[in-house]
Amino acid sequence: MATVDIRLVSTRGIKKKSDHVDEIKNLVTPGDVITSDSGFMRGHGTFMEEGKLHASVAGVVEHVNKLICVKPLKTRYNGEIGDVVIGRIIEVCQRRWKVETHSKLNSVLMLSSVNLPGGELRRRSEEDEKLMRHYLKEGDLISAEVQNVMGDGCLSLHTRSLKYGKLGQGTLLSISPSLIKRRKTHFHNLPCGASVILGNNGYIWITPNIDDESQNTGGYEQNLQPVPQTDREVVARLRNCILALAANHMIIYDTNIMYAFEASISFTVKELLKPEVISEMIDLVQQRIDMEGT
């Protein structure tokens, strides 16, 4: 049975609890003078003019010893060494792949920084160069780690660990990188039966828990068998939950995701696309966070 869900804009947004929020402390906007004291160091989001330190973005001033930074609410991804990212191959070049990672410039994955099928470490032969498109071709998704940040901000990636590599069946989401919390691990096997990779670059990969055999191959051999319906439902539910959290500017990490998942269980997955259901679920999550936090 077909369903069509049309509303009027005017009927939206009855809920208005956070309509007014007091201005937060240390908030600056572009051009504001942060300090005229010359004893500070200039960090991201600031610039020097006439001996004064100005903010160049809107955000909260952060002090780390003598360093002053301003972090904007959202930007493109600023890579740091060691970050976990998810990227899409967009070009196969000489001895390297170009990868789209939602950063300012395309990232680079060198042929010498991947584990080749079989896993063993060996010299890259000319043969391998010819087979590059066979390993990873345009459109393929990978999880990787930032190995280096070049002078112009271009990231160089590596996948030399078995947890990284080509991604199989699942769903990719794209949210603002600032919503991803930097944590010890970004790979989570959630108890609900799916695993998520929270890329620092704002890309999130949700995939059904498949038996561990595929992990050893670095993802080169792909399992294209149909995913069982129950797994599919879990993935779809997680997808809608994470998007709902992101739309409400909530930080995303494994605990929050599980809260949302559990709060959503009384609704069908399809209902989670409706605004009133989303706000009800978000309220439940918020309550739970408040409760656990104190």
Partner 1 sequence: MAGLELLSDQGFRIDGRRPNELRKIQCRLGVFKQSDGSAYIEQGNTKVLAAVYGPHEVRGSRSKMLHDKVLVNCQYSMATFSTGERKKRPRGDRKSTEMTMHLKQTFDAVILTSLYPRSQIDIYVEVLQSDGGNYCASVNAATLALIDAGIPLKDYVCACSAGFVNDTSIVDISYLEESGGGPELIVATLPKSEQIVFLEMNSRLHEDNLSKVLDVASKGCKDIYEILDRAVREHVSKVSHSLATTD
Partner 2 sequence: MTDIIYSEAEKTYILHGIQENYREDGRGCEDYRHMEIETGVVSNTTGSARVRLANTDLLVGIKAELGSPSPDNPNCGCIEFFVDCSANATPQFEGRGGEELATEISNVLTRAYSNSTSLDLKSLCIIPKQQCWILYIDVLFLECGGNLFDAASVGVKAALFNTKIPNVTVNQDEDDMEIELSDDPFDVQRIDIKSAPCIVTLSKIGHHHVVDASQKEEACCLARLMMGVTADSTITALKKEGWGSLNPESIFEMMESGKNVGKVLNASLLSLLEDEEKGSKRKTVGFLK
Q: Give the footprint of partner 2 on this chain (CB under 8 A).
A: 1-10, 12-13, 88, 90, 138-141, 167-172, 222, 224, 226-227, 229, 232-233, 236-237, 239-240, 268-270, 272-275
- In the complex, minimum distance from the CB of residue 75 to partner 1, in angstroms, rounded to a whole number: 4
- In the complex, minimum distance from the CB of residue 68 to partner 1, in angstroms, rounded to a whole number: 14
Give which of 294, 257, 109, 239 is closest to 180, Cα–Cα.
Answer: 257
Give which of 46, 68, 50, 43 is closest to 58, Cα–Cα.
Answer: 46
**CA distances from residue 124 to 119, 127, 156, 211, 230 in whole angstroms, order as listed:** 13, 8, 18, 30, 42
- In the complex, minimum distance from the CB of residue 290 to partner 1, in angstroms, rounded to a whole number: 8
Give the SS3 label for residue 128: helix
- In the complex, minimum distance from the CB of residue 120 to partner 1, in angstroms, rounded to a whole number: 34
Partner whose footprint covers residue 15, from partner 1, partner 2, none (CB < 5 to 8 Å by kind): none
C-beta of 12 vs 74, nearer to partner 1: 74
Tokens of 231: 């797994």
Partner whose footprint covers residue 150, from partner 2, partner 1, none (CB < 5 to 8 Å by kind): none
Partner whose footprint covers residue 64, from partner 2, partner 1, none (CB < 5 to 8 Å by kind): none
Contacts of 20 (CB under 8 A, 6+ apart): none
C-beta of 90 vs 210, nearer to partner 1: 90
By CB under 8 A, is residue 291 in contact with partner 1? no
- Kindly indicate which of the ranges 120-128, 165-173, 220-228, 245-253 contains the residues binding partner 1, using the contact rule CB under 8 A: 245-253
- Pair 138, 154: CB distance under 8 Å: no
Element at 284 (helix H, strand E): helix 275-293
Partner whose footprint covers residue 179, from partner 2, partner 1, none (CB < 5 to 8 Å by kind): partner 1
Element at 155 (helix H, strand E): strand 155-159
- In the complex, minimum distance from the CB of residue 21 to partner 2, in angstroms, rounded to a whole number: 16
Pairwise CA distance, residues 257 & 232, whole Å: 17
C-beta of 19 vs 212, nearer to partner 1: 19
Which residue carries 């955000």 as its tokens?
59
C-beta of 156 vs 256, nearer to partner 1: 256
- In the complex, minimum distance from the CB of residue 216 to partner 1, in angstroms, rounded to a whole number: 34
Kindly provide the residue ranges of all beta strands, DSSP E only, lying in 175-278, ordered along the sequence: 187-190, 194-198, 203-208
Burial of 109 (0-12, 13-18, 19+ CB in 10 A): buried
Pairwise CA distance, residues 149 & 283, whole Å: 40
By CB under 8 A, is residue 57 in contact with partner 1? yes
The residue ranges that bind partner 1 (CB under 8 A) are: 18, 21-24, 27, 29-32, 45, 47, 49, 54, 56-60, 72-76, 104-106, 152-153, 178-179, 181, 245, 248-251, 256, 286, 289-290
